[in-house]
Structures are given as structure tokens and as C-alpha cells.
Amino acid sequence: MSGRYAWVPTPEVVERANTTRFARAHGLDGHGGILARSLEDPEWFWDAVVQWLDLGFRTPYERVLDERDGPEWARWFVGGTLNMAWSCVGRHAEAHPERPALVAEHEDGAVATLTYAELAERVARVAGGLAAAGVEPGERVALVMPMTAEAVIAFHAIAWLGAIAVPVFSGFSSAAIASRLADAGVAAAVTADAGLRRGRAVPIAAAVDEALAAAPSVRRVVLQDRGLVPAPARAGLHVRWEDVAASAPVEPQWVPSEHPALIAYTSGTTGRPKGAVHVHGGFLVKIAQEAHFQADVHPGDRVSWITDMGWIMGPWTTVGTHANGGTLVVLEGAPDHPTPRRAFDFAARHRLDFLGVSPTLVRVLRSRAPATLGADLSALRAFGSTGEPWNREPYLWLFEQVGDRRAPIVNISGGTEVGACFLSTDVTVPMKPCSLGGPALGMAVDVWGPDGRPIREGVGELVCTRPWPGMTRGVWGDPERYLAAYWSRWPGVWVHGDWASVDGDGEWFLHGRSDDTLNVAGKRVGPAEYESALVGHPAVVEACAVGIPDATKGESVWCFVVLAGGAEPDDGLRAELAATVEQALGPAFRPAAVRFAATLPRTRSAKIVRRAVRAAALGEDAGDLSTLEDPAALDAVRSAL
């Protein structure tokens, strides 16, 4: 570290960065100059991004932004036509046909590689096969696949055809799959018999087949039979992937900028999941810009994010990498199997320039050090991170021990509905540990207090006061739910539901979800502050803080912790951990209980689900649990009681 900063860019990093080139081309002073200009004149900025990246609009747009229906329903690049998949794949296949476009590594070690020419041909053929199977532009096509080359091909093919992709997490139960198929009115699904995870085949197609009973709109299922498990077969319904992939290629469907490209589902605390609608123009431009500036992706760079196509980071990485002419490298299976350092060995094998990970994954890998260290990451220029707040010790471990202080952590935050990021660091700017840097380029974000005024002392609500290209065009089939969720608190202002703060140096930090806020004797505090203090203790791998009703204080705090190997779960350690929190936050915030759990409920994107922990502790209904990687983890919470 250099003083209070972890990352301080070298002159070589600044000189090479896309940010620097763009700033010079427009007579601006680096990242700060671009940010100021993008907030002062956002229409100039987004138009400049399209021209700079040459994103391939077939028909030029007439207006950058149309807010006649209010910021909630803003339309971007009005009058333009394009195709997101052609912008990502087709134009690079024409310009650089032999450049590697896609590398897929399976858990069994098999690797598949496609050039841009090969990827474009397969995308066009699968699009033709979907059309031959009766899929029309505008119809919804579910994508329930492991993270393989076929998942990427299918994602692009759906957009190429002008249909709407509905990526669904490949590890969902049949009930969770069914709810999404039915909500979106899916016409077809693309799936595989199984995926590989932790040395075994995990069935997928069987769950999709079972889900069809509750999704009568599905007319076709494209099935890739990998020979891993027995696959369902229904005459007249199932079509073989091999047959679809061998179809005659079709030309891309040129669609208006506001034509939907995907419906990305995110779960609420109760009720059915929300389908965030994203469109060809806005999603492409925003994601391409983020990968170009924030991740600093250059043509030919090798980029990976450990995720699933069913989470927003799957489409983010796919579109961001390919729009910039990079090489997308995907990983099937668990990032810590068959060895604890598989994720880092994977990065070394493929000479990745950029690797995206989650803070929770890093905490788990750190608990197994030094077994996770030793991979040659000399090619890596940056890590990516999103999904949850960081804790200082795991952050510094990744930066110092894994990345050898050479690779900054590009910490970003947005969401499925955002389609992209509100906040982001930039490789050309110094970074404090755990910081999110500041507003992402073109994003008019702020931190507001309860009175609806900006604050810079203390924690407040993260808001956005202007529309942006990547924002959802609403919740599929439920516009009122969309307005109620994001626009109902202050007129014309998006309230995201995150606690945020800005320190004296202008660095931004997140403190967890505002609906997770703890209220202890009238004092409001984010659970992430408890968890950060606990994870800083060498005996703790993971932590989760939840509020429990208290007759005296209104709410008391219970902390559930997962211990590192060798730590003894006794009363002495319990008292020591409670004292650790007290020292970090003050006597008023000493937890009422510290519980030891074997594991905690997490999504497959590695976020701990606090509401599920609280519900288990109170014996209440936790609502929608379809995103949990292992629902049995709730039993570990109950056992900890």
C-alpha cells in the first residue's frame, strides 16, 4: 500500500489505458475530466461512446435521449436500428476473422476455442435453427445452460434473431425455472442434459422438463445431450442442439434501439421474481462502455468473470468483452474444485488480462491459503468485483498476496435492474481498500439523507437523478411494480436500496442493502459493518449480521460466523468476537449473540442472503429461496441456534 491507498497507477498503466486515450481525443483531463463532462452533458457523452467504439448502428439514431414520458420511461438512441449480437460478433468477424473470440474450459479439463469467424457462423446457424423451430422476433427464449461455449453461442443467437433471451440460472430447481418461464411467456428453451460441478454431473434438462407443466407457452426445447445423464425426449417438443447448430445461417434481424434483447430476473424478498427488461441499444452501449473504460478491455484481451449466464454478470461479461473485440474465457464448474486454487490456475493457464470474482469467493479462498497461492498471474492487469461490500483483510489479500500489488481491483456496483454500474473505480486513479471509487461515467448518482438532500457526512441512500442507457425498461408485464420499486420515494429519482457514503477524499463506499439496516436503540447501522469487523478476525471466514426483535432496544444483533479450520467454537472465542465488534463499532453495538455455523446460505453468485438467515433464526418464512446454491445451508443456521 501507498499511504491510505492500495492501488496507485504507474505512468505506464495510465498511458496504456482506454480512459487516457479517450480523454486526449476529446481534450479532457483524464478520468476526472471525462466524468465531469459526462455529468454536465450526458447526451454528448453517450453519443461520443457510440462513435468512439464504432458500435455498428445499422441506421443512425436521430436523438440520443427522449424523456417525453418522464425519466422512468426514457428512450435512448431514438430512430436507430442495430443488432446487439452483430455488434458483438458479426462486425469483428468481418474485420478480424481469425482473432480468438471464445475459450471455454470445462471442469474435466476439456477446452474449446472459437475464432470470431467461427463464432459468427455458429451464432448465425443457431439463429437459423431457432427460426426453423418456429421462434419469431420478439418471442422469449429461455437459456438454461451451464457456462459453456454453447451458452454463449445461444445467447448471441437469440439476439441475432431478434428474439428476447431469458437467461435462467442453471442450478435452479424446476419450480424456480417454471416461475420464470411462465412469467416471461417463454416460447422456447435452450438447455443441456447436465453441467459439471465438483466432479459430478448436475442434471439441468430434467428440471426444465418438469417445469414445462407450469409453463404451457413453451413450444420447443433445444437440448444439448452431452452424454452426462439420461436426457428427456418428447416427440414434437425436443429438438437436438446438433440439428439446430447445423441449420442454414440467417442474416441478423435489424431492430429498433428500444427492441428488448433480454429479460434478466432478480429475486425480491417476497413474491415472484422481477424480470428486468433490457434493450439492444441501451444495454449494448452501456456495457460496452463499462468494459472499455472500467475494466480497460482492449481488442484481443482475454477476459473472464466467474459467474453463470443466469446472473447479470454473465451477459455483462459476454457483451462487454465481445463488443470490445476481446476474447471471452468461460469456466464451467466450481472455482475451487478439483483444487482450492482452480480459479487462479485457470487465470494463469489462459493468460487472462482481467478476472472477475466476488468478495465471498475471495474470503473462502483466503481461508485456504497458502493452498490457493502460487499461480503465475503475470499476465493479469486487473481483477473485477461486484455484488456486495468488501472487507478490508480479504481485499488486501487478493490485491497483495494473489495479485502481487500489480493488478488493481476494479470494484463496481449496480444491479440486474441497472443493467450495469452506478459506481466504479478506474485503473488510472488511486484506489483505497474496499472503495468503489465514485460515480461511473455518465451516472448522476448521489447519496441522500431521509430529507431527500445530498449528504457527505454519514451513510445515506444511493440514488440516481437522471436516466442512463442501460436502465431496465421496466419489470416484464408489471409496470406498476417497477415504478413502486424504484421511483416511488422521490419524484423522478431512482432509489436503489443500497446504503452508501462518501469520505473526505471523495471515495465512495457501500454498506449493504438499506432494507437490511439494523436499528439498535435508535442507532442505524449496516450489517456489513458488523461483518467486516468479524471477518477481520483470523478465526472467521464468513459472517452474517441480522436484526432480531428486542423488547428493550427494539432490535438486537445476532452474528452468525463460519470459522476457519482449527478454530475452536467455544465461549471464549464467542466473547472475543463480540469484543472485536465492540472495539470496531462501539459499546452500543456489541452483538447480543455470536453463533457458529458450518456454512451460510448463499446464492451461486456467492452473496449471503441475510433475510434467509434472519428467517431461519426466527422460524419465519424466508420468501423466495430459488437463488440459493444450497437450501440445506439454512439447516446449518438452525443448528447454530
- Whole-number Å distance between alpha carbons of 151 and 353: 22
Asked if the structure places residue 539 within a domain, the reply is: yes
Q: Are residues 440 and 401 in the same domain?
A: yes
pLDDT digits (tens, 9 = 90+) for 571-628: 999 999 999 998 887 777 899 999 999 999 987 666 788 888 998 999 887 766 777 7
The answer to the question of residue 458 being in a domain is yes
- The pLDDT of 623-638, averaged and rounded, is 80
* 172 within domain boundaries: yes
Look at residue 524 in the predicted model and tell me its pLDDT.
Answer: 61
486 and 594 part of one domain? no
Given this model, what pLDDT does residue 270 score? 41
Per the CB < 8 A criterion, the answer to whether 407 and 399 are in contact is yes
pLDDT at 522 (0 to 100): 56
| Whether residues 437 and 554 fall in one domain | no
Higher pLDDT, 512 or 45: 45
The CATH number of residue 270's host domain is: 3.40.50.12780
CB 379 within 8 A of CB 353: yes
Tell me the pLDDT tens digit for each residue of 432-445: 999 999 999 999 99
Q: Could you give the C-alpha distances from 78 to 63, 64, 179, 220, 282, in angstroms and in order?
A: 5, 6, 33, 34, 10
Quote the mean pLDDT of the chain.
93
Q: Among 446, 474, 508, where does a domain finish?
A: 508
What's the pLDDT band for 550 if we cut at 50, 70, 90? confident
The pLDDT, as a whole number, for residue 363 is 86
Whole-angstrom Cα distance, residue 553 to residue 565?
A: 35
**Does residue 163 share a domain with residue 189?**
yes
Looking at 485, 508, 531, the residue that finishes a domain is 508
Whether residue 331 lies inside any domain: the answer is: yes
What's the N-to-C CA distance of the chain in angstroms?
40
What is the mean pLDDT of the segment spanning 362-378? 92
In Å, how far from its chain's centre is CA 636? 27
Domain that holds residue 588: 521-640
Residue 566: pLDDT band with limits 50, 70, 90? confident
Count of domains observed in the chain? 2
H or E segment to which residue 202 belongs: strand 200-203
Residues 198 and 276 in one domain: yes
In the predicted model, is pLDDT for residue 403 greater than 60? yes
Whether residue 502 sits in one domain with residue 550: no
Which of the residue ranges 95-109, 179-193, 199-213, 598-612 would you say has the lowest mean pLDDT? 598-612
**Residues 324 and 195 occupy one common structural domain:** yes
DSSP secondary structure string, 482-518? HHHHHSSSSTT-EEEEEEEEE-TTS-EEEEEEGGG-E
For residue 359, the model assigns a pLDDT of 87
Report the pLDDT value the prediction gives residue 98, as an integer from 0 to 100: 98
Q: Looking at the predicted structure, is the pLDDT value of residue 508 above 50?
A: yes
In contact, 224 and 254? CB cutoff 8 Å:
no
Q: Could you tell me if 495 and 561 lie in one domain?
A: no
Domain boundary among 461, 487, 508: 508
Q: Report if residue 67 sits inside a domain.
A: no
Mean pLDDT of 76-84: 98
Alpha carbons 498 and 513: distance in angstroms, whole number: 4
Q: Domain check: are 241 and 377 in the same one?
A: yes
Q: Are residues 273 and 366 in the same domain?
A: yes
Q: Are residues 164 and 138 in the same domain?
A: yes
How confident is the model at residue 1, as a pLDDT?
A: 60
Quote helix, strand, coil % in the chain, to nearest 5. Answer: 35, 25, 40
Task: With a cut of 60, say whether residue 238 has pLDDT above it.
Answer: yes
Instruction: Give the residue-averaged pLDDT of 299-311.
Output: 95
Inside any domain, residue 366:
yes
Hey, which residues does 559 pair with through a beta bridge?
545, 594
**CATH number of 621's domain:** 3.30.300.30
Q: Is the pLDDT of residue 201 over 50?
A: yes
The distance between the two most distant Cα atoms of the chain, rounded to a whole number of Å, is 71
Strand, helix or coil at 473? coil
Are residue 464 and residue 579 in the same domain, yes or no?
no
Q: How confident is the model at residue 245 (pLDDT cuts 50, 70, 90)?
A: very high
Q: Which of left, alpha, beta for 601 (phi over 0: left; psi -120 to 50: alpha)?
A: beta
Percent with pLDDT over 90 in the chain: 80
- Whether 157 contacts 126, CB under 8 Å: yes
Check residue 499 and give its pLDDT: 86
Q: How far is CA 522 from CA 64, 525, 533, 555, 588, in A?
A: 46, 10, 21, 9, 10
Tell whether 516 is covered by a domain. no
